[in-house]
Amino acid sequence: MKRELCLQSVAALNRNDLIKKINSRGIFAVQPLEELEEEKSIILHGEEQSVKRRFQRLELKGKQSELKLSIRFEEGAVVTNDCIMRQNDIYFVYTEKSKEQLKLLLKLVLGETVLVLVEPDVYDRLKQNQGSFNPALTDRYKERNFQSGLGSHLFWQIFLVNQGWTDFLHKPLERITLRQLRVKVRRLRSCLTFFKPALRQDEALLWQNNLRRQGDQLAYLRELDVALMAIEKIKTPLAKHEEMYPEKLAELLWQARNTEAQRMKQELSLKDITLELAGFIIWLQGQPIAPAYANKELEPFLWSRIKEWSNSIASLTKRYPDFSNMLEMHKIRIKVKRFRYVMMTLPEINKNTGNMLRKLKKLQDILGFLHDEFINNEIISKIAATNTETLQCEMALFKGWESAKVEEAATALPDLWEDFCEELEIWEDTI
């Protein structure tokens, strides 16, 4: 069965030079350039719109019958009533037998130009770019089996993670690109964990670890950002008392932040990240489903799995009863966040969830705040370890300023947890 992988050029793409590199051994036959037009009606933001495409297509086909691999270039534009989406794509069409050849070609191509993984279907890509995408309404999902479900729910997230890394490595000093990337990686990790029982376990664990490593690479920079945001919140209330603002501490945090961002830009390779994520897609398009689930329907699994997760969430405080223990609360926070990401991402199970998700968000925010303050104190203590009088005074000011808010949040936590569990129980009765 043929499969597709699509990469979009981020930088200028010299198609002719790239074709020469790809075809240096003359194993592909270059087909004539085609000038094509298409028109199609699609639903965008709940309304039917006419979409027009004008593009060039140039294809490379394997000369040898055993070479089950072809490449095509598509360049043009997709036009709607209110937007234009440029297309500068390289498609790889392959089979299970040619996937190792594909990986070698990907290394070659990614070494020549900057590329990012995108949705092969340009109309679904348009919906993704416009925030009008529902994975359960794609052609890919029609079969409603595990294979199509995985593709529908995970592929678009992989594309977003790849784009997130592109944005971050282009502008590592911008805090928003880091935050957005971390959310995308965490959401993808959560959904992969959700599907894990239906996957080949050793391979699924490998990809879980790969995604965890991506998240870990971002952790310290995010911790510095959180500490900076906490200090910045002090500035406005103290505007009339500038001498009390922890200026030196903020300056040192900024220096540490910029140093770490520049280090990451120098040491991390977008090529390697894209290649790794392409490998993830190739695996998902192959045979990732455990034999026991090969012939089972997708939707009963989704409901059974979310019921299992919701029961686990409701019993967390039996395992971690001490609300004052920040390490235990962090474990709860991780599981709560993962649950929320999955609930919000899978449209099949995101039904009648309004009240429950709102209370979950409030709970997550409080747990996040308490965790952030715990980490902030550790980071600021390290930064102030030079022991100068100024830094020690500023550190004391910061900790004193935050302590009242921490106490208030910790006091509210048991009631918020109880409110959420009650709403979770009500929602469970509807499924």
Q: Which domain holds residue 29?
A: 1-133
Of 57-66, 106-115, 333-342, the one with minimum mean pLDDT is: 57-66
Say if residue 388's pLDDT is above 80.
no
Residue 369 resides in a domain: yes
* Claim to verify: residue 290 and residue 410 sit in the same structural domain: yes
* DSSP state for residue 315 in the 8-state scheme: T
**What is the C-alpha to C-alpha distance for residues 218 and 204, in angstroms, rounded to an integer?**
22
The answer to whether the beta carbons of residues 430 and 354 sit under 8 Å apart is no
> Does residue 393 surpass a pLDDT of 90?
no
* Confidence at residue 143, expressed as pLDDT on a 0 to 100 scale: 80
Q: Give the separation between CA 428 and CA 431, rounded to whole angstroms.
A: 5
Length of the chain measured in residues: 431
Q: Residue 419: inside a domain, yes or no?
A: yes
Across the chain, mean pLDDT equals 90
Kindly calculate the radius of gyration of the chain based on its CA atoms and give it in whole angstroms.
Answer: 25
The pLDDT tens digits of the residues spanning 251-308 come to 989 999 999 999 999 999 999 999 999 999 999 999 999 999 988 889 999 999 999 9
Q: What is the CATH number of the domain that holds 273?
A: 1.40.20.10
Domain boundary, last residue among 133, 156, 188: 133
Region 331-342: what's the mean pLDDT? 94
Average pLDDT over residues 342-367: 93
Within a domain: 173 = no
In 3-state terms, what secondary structure has residue 182?
helix
Question: pLDDT confidence of 157, banded at 50, 70, 90?
Answer: very high
Two tokens at 66?
Answer: 């055993």
Give 165-213 pLDDT, tens digit per residue: 999 999 999 999 999 999 999 999 999 999 999 999 999 999 999 999 9
Minimal CA–CA distance to 310: which of 212, 420, 419, 193? Answer: 420
What sections of 171-200 are H helices per DSSP? 175-195
CA distance between the termini of the chain: 37
Whether residue 115 contacts residue 10, with contact meaning beta carbons closer than 8 Å, is answered with: yes
Measuring CA to CA, which residue among 277, 217, 224, 219 is closest to residue 249? 224
2 lies in some domain: yes
- At position 321, the amino acid (one-letter code) is P
Q: Are 126 and 229 in a shared domain?
A: no
Say if residue 239's pLDDT is above 90. no
Residue-level pLDDT at 381: 81
Look at residue 63 and tell me if it is in a domain. Answer: yes
If asked whether residues 107 and 229 sit together in one domain, one would say: no
Q: What percent of the chain has pLDDT over 90?
A: 67
Choose among 4, 214, 23, 2: nearest CA to 109. Answer: 23
Q: What does 80-103 look like in DSSP terms, one character per residue?
A: -SS-EEEEEEEEEEE-GGGHHHHH
Quote the pTM value: 0.94
pLDDT at 70: 95
**Measured between alpha carbons, how far is 357 from 424 in angstroms, rounded to an integer?**
9
Domain endpoint, select from 133, 161, 195 = 133
List, in sequence order, the alpha helices (H) in 130-269.
146-170, 175-195, 201-235, 247-267
Local confidence band at 386 (pLDDT 50, 70, 90 cut-offs): low
